[in-house]
Amino acid sequence: MNTTEIASDPDLDAMARIMAGLEPASSAPEAWKTIAASAAFAAHKQQLGASFSRAEKSRLSIMKQWSAEELADVCKEANDLFYPFSGPDIMTAHAIFPCAKDYIMIGLEPAGIPPALGNMNEAVRARYFAAVRNSLGSILNYSFFRTNDMRDDFRGVLDGLTPILMVFLAREGNELVAARVATMLPDGTISERDPKKAPSAEERKAEATGVPGIRFYFKDVKDGRLKTVTYFSVDISDTGLANRAFFLETIGRTGTYTTYLKSASYLMHRDSFSKIRSFILDNSDHVIQDDSGMPLAFFPEAKWNRSFYGMYTQPIPLFASRYQPDLRAIYKDPVKNGVKKLPFGTGYNFKEGDSHLLVARKKK
């Protein structure tokens, strides 16, 4: 990927800021400043700003500090971040792993494309803003997206999760440079095209054979580096990957990853998700996860240095059958096992004091 050839799209960054309830930059095109002066935007800015302020104070700022202290060695290796079962949660990924250059995210929800926000009248735009706020309720309040709610949100007004990726990138202070429809093709290449332009017949035919997604190029708020976040919409169960072996093969060519797993529905506890589980274990230098990722048994002490944080008692009732006695035994004796405090809530047991994380570092 030659990032030097990526042309900046000032409308994209201005639109993302508007959608995120932020004033457009002084250099933004005048049309976006006019939208920012509207009553619909004023209400959106106030309501969404209050929600993000609460999340930043109660969780995000604490996550960032924890990461700086506990994952400093992980950041030094500067691996790309692999975040399957993520939905659009680039916000948490960027907060905990700000050092990653490229973020690869996977979910079942459609990707969509950036909206034509500038072409909407104020009434339609107000409904769009309300849909953005509604879709963010669970992640800002509870630290995870509700899958069924996402399916409703992203197949309705929002037309995919791209708008939420834009909001999160903008709220983290990053500058959005460009958006591209990204399709991983069976030959192991990733095609990109401008979402503002309709695909040609040739592009449409090629995209029909591949894995669809969206890619954003953005300048990171911390160091100004050009980075990417790419979201692919694909079923990564063994059945879903049966005719898409090229998907994991292509991702694996990049090198080793830091993998993050949160609120992953315990899918990799099942043999029907053995391919993605094996891929992560084989291709990750580090895995940071809650118990909904992979069972502790897949991280034997002979192969992994394991650090435990927070408190694990049992899964929420919906996933009660995924209780892990060996993980509970670790937390029953925190002094002996060196369990450290986790100063924020995360995952399904999202309240501080009920949450936990495992940081597994592969032994060299």
Q: What is the pLDDT of residues 25-46, one digit of tens each?
A: 999 999 999 999 999 999 999 9
Alpha-carbon distance 94 to 220, whole Å?
10
Share of residues in the chain with pLDDT > 70 (%)? 94
Query: Which residue's entry shows tokens 């994380």?
Result: 357
Query: Which residue's entry shows tokens 């897949």?
Result: 298
Alpha-carbon distance 359 to 334, whole Å?
15
CB atoms within 10 A of CB 92: 21
Strands 226-233 and 102-107, by their bridges, are parallel
Residue 324 CB burial class (10 angstroms; 0-12, 13-18, ≥19) = middle
Q: What's residue 156's pLDDT?
A: 60
Q: What's residue 147's pLDDT?
A: 46
Alpha-carbon distance 213 to 218, whole Å?
16
Q: Which helix (H) or strand (E) holds 17?
A: helix 10-19
The residues of the chain scoring below 70 in pLDDT are 1-4, 138-139, 141-157
pLDDT digits (tens, 9 = 90+) for 181-197: 999 999 999 999 999 99
Q: What's residue 360's pLDDT?
A: 98
pTM: predicted TM-score of the whole model, two decimal places: 0.92
* Residue/partner pairs of 44-53 with CB below 8 Å, 24 or more apart: 44/126, 44/129, 44/130, 44/132, 44/133, 45/21, 46/21, 47/21, 47/133, 48/20, 48/21, 48/129, 48/132, 48/133, 48/136, 49/21, 51/133, 51/136, 51/137, 51/140, 51/141, 52/21, 52/140, 52/171
Reduce the DSSP state of residue 218 to 3 states and report it: strand
C-alpha closest to that of 56 among 95, 97, 87: 95
pLDDT digits (tens, 9 = 90+) for 119-168: 999 999 999 999 899 888 766 755 554 444 545 545 566 778 999 999 99
